[in-house]
């Protein structure tokens, strides 16, 4: 049994705002959510900028007693899931709770709390470590708390595949609904690791932009002057369910999930292969799963990190898969505005991709002023583009050579 699976609910917490409409409006206006780091004193760091969530109040989404002791990534995931479930109109009760599940992607979990707890341990000893420490740092506590707060009791898991985690979560949730393992899934990605060790670690790798004097222009995918990615935080969650039940409920259908592909580079700890081989096989696997050719795709939400290697190699991969269609397809990187949410990237970018289909509007790649060498495709520079999007692709590629691609389709029939 292969049921058709559709997106009926969306939720977002991003550096551009809390809520789908606030973030989407900013994305389509080409606004940047990047600014100076305020979470800690970053004056001694090579990178002093990030995409921080600025307007979030945990008490608006969690019980007051729990809000103060819930790690950011968990609170973001719960909030975005509440939004998505409310948006979907799906009601959870005793008749369906065991058939509705949660599957999220998260790369690093509670890294910030790990830092502060280590300091407490060193300064004050083991008796001062909070009993909530372990539950609050593990990545699977995001879907765990979503399940508790929303009352869903179906499949419950978290995927930790670095920057591909959110995409892998949506893809695996799609398969669960498709094959009948669940009748609905709340799925997406989350991350909140704007912390000293995170910034220091990526700086040591020389992976981050150091354009500290002009934060809004720091994330510049496919541009000649790109110098690294910018860490972002937040969550993007979707509700997936069978097409038939969505129609029976009269739910608004944003898009259909048409295909999912995965691959491994088998090449390097952090660098993709220069020919984009892993990305090529991943995109092709998703196209094969969807049963379509590359020429059918109207838009690609690119991984587009703003690092010298990724943008070039992803471009080469698109050319290899799309061939003569490569110069026709619209491509953009929303990371130019949100920064890179790591394990949460695939979650928010799946939401953006579904919205591009639903609204007929392709987000821009901002800060693309002088295309880099070989970066000569249509990256929708500067301004959003009004265009009907029938089929769209979203790419995520992670450290360790782990890749994920999703394909979404308009469900207007």
Mean residue pLDDT across the chain:
97
Catalytic residue among 163, 198, 282, 375: 163
Asked if pLDDT for residue 413 goes beyond 70, the answer is no
- What is the pLDDT, as a whole number, of residue 226? 98
Give the residue among 154, 192, 173, 148 at the shortest CA–CA distance from 9: 173
Range 5-249: architecture per CATH: 3-Layer(aba) Sandwich (3.40)
∠ Cα 398 234 140 (to 5°): 70
Q: What percent of the chain has pLDDT over 90?
A: 97
Asked if pLDDT for residue 406 goes beyond 90, the answer is yes
Whether the model clears a pTM of 0.85, i.e. scores above it, the answer is: yes
Catalytic residue among 61, 340, 375, 411: 340
Task: Give pLDDT tens digits for 63-79.
Answer: 988 888 899 999 999 99
Catalytic annotation on 179? no
- What is the pLDDT, as a whole number, of residue 270? 85
Q: Taking the domains of the chain in order of start, what are their residue ranges?
A: 5-249, 260-409
**66 vs 182, higher pLDDT:** 182
> What number is the average pLDDT over the span 363-392?
98
- Domain 260-409, classified CATH 3.40.47.10, yes or no: yes
Give the residue among 174, 226, 101, 220 at the shortest CA–CA distance from 350: 174
- What is the pLDDT, as a whole number, of residue 132? 92
If pLDDT is split at 50, 70 and 90, which confidence band does 329 have?
Answer: very high
Kindly report which listed range (62-76, 93-107, 349-363) carries the lowest average pLDDT score: 62-76
> What number is the average pLDDT over the span 363-384?
98
> What number is the average pLDDT over the span 156-161?
98
- What is the pLDDT, as a whole number, of residue 307? 97
Task: Give pLDDT tens digits for 107-150.
Answer: 999 999 999 999 999 999 999 999 999 999 999 999 999 999 99
Catalytic annotation on 163? yes
Give the residue among 310, 332, 321, 342 at the shortest CA–CA distance from 377: 332
Asked if pLDDT for residue 1 goes beyond 90, the answer is no
Q: What percent of the chain has pLDDT over 70?
A: 100
Task: Give pLDDT tens digits for 263-278.
Answer: 999 999 988 899 999 9
Q: Which residues pair with 322 in a beta bridge?
A: none
Asked if pLDDT for residue 186 goes beyond 70, the answer is yes
> What number is the average pLDDT over the span 318-336?
98
């Amino acid at each position: 049994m292969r049921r058709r699976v559709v997106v009926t609910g969306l939720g977002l917490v991003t550096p551009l705002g809390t809520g789908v409409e606030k973030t989407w409006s900013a994305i389509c206006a080409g606004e940047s959510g990047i600014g100076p780091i305020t979470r800690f004193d970053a004056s001694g760091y090579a990178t002093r900028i990030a995409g921080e969530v600025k307007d979030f109040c945990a008490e608006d989404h969690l019980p007051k007693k729990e809000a103060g002791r819930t790690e950011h990534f968990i609170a973001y995931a719960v909030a975005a899931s509440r939004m998505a479930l409310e948006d979907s109109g799906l009601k959870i009760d005793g008749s369906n709770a065991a058939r509705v599940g949660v599957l999220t992607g998260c790369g690093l979990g509670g890294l910030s709390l790990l830092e502060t707890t280590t300091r407490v341990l060193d300064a004050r000893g083991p008796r001062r470590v909070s009993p909530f420490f372990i539950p609050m740092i593990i990545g699977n506590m995001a879907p765990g708390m979503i399940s508790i707060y929303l009352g869903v009791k179906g499949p419950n898991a978290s995927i930790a595949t670095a920057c591909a985690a959110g995409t892998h979560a949506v893809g695996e949730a799609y398969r669960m609904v498709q094959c009948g393992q669940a009748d609905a899934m709340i799925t997406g990605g989350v991350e909140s690791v704007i912390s000293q060790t995170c910034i220091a670690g990526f700086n040591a790798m020389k992976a981050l932009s150091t354009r500290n004097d002009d934060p809004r222009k720091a994330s510049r995918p496919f541009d000649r002057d790109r110098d690294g990615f910018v860490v972002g935080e937040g969550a993007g969650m979707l509700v997936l369910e069978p097409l038939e039940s969505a129609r029976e409920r009269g739910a608004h259908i944003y898009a259909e999930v048409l295909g999912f592909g995965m691959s491994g580079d088998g090449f390097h700890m952090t660098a993709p292969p220069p020919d984009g081989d892993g990305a090529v096989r991943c995109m092709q696997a998703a196209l094969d799963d969807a049963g379509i050719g590359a020429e059918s795709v109207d838009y690609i939400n690119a991984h587009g990190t703003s690092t010298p290697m990724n943008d070039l190699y992803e471009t080469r991969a698109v050319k290899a898969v799309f061939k003569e269609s490569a110069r026709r397809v619209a491509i953009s990187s929303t990371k130019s505005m949100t920064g890179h949410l790591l394990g949460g990237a695939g979650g928010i970018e799946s939401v953006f991709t579904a919205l591009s289909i639903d609204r007929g509007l392709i987000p821009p790649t901002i800060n693309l002023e002088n295309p880099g060498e070989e970066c000569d495709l249509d990256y929708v520079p500067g301004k959003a583009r009004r265009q009907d999007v029938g089929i769209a692709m979203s790419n995520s590629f992670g450290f360790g050579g782990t890749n994920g691609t999703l394909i979404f389709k308009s469900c207007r029939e």
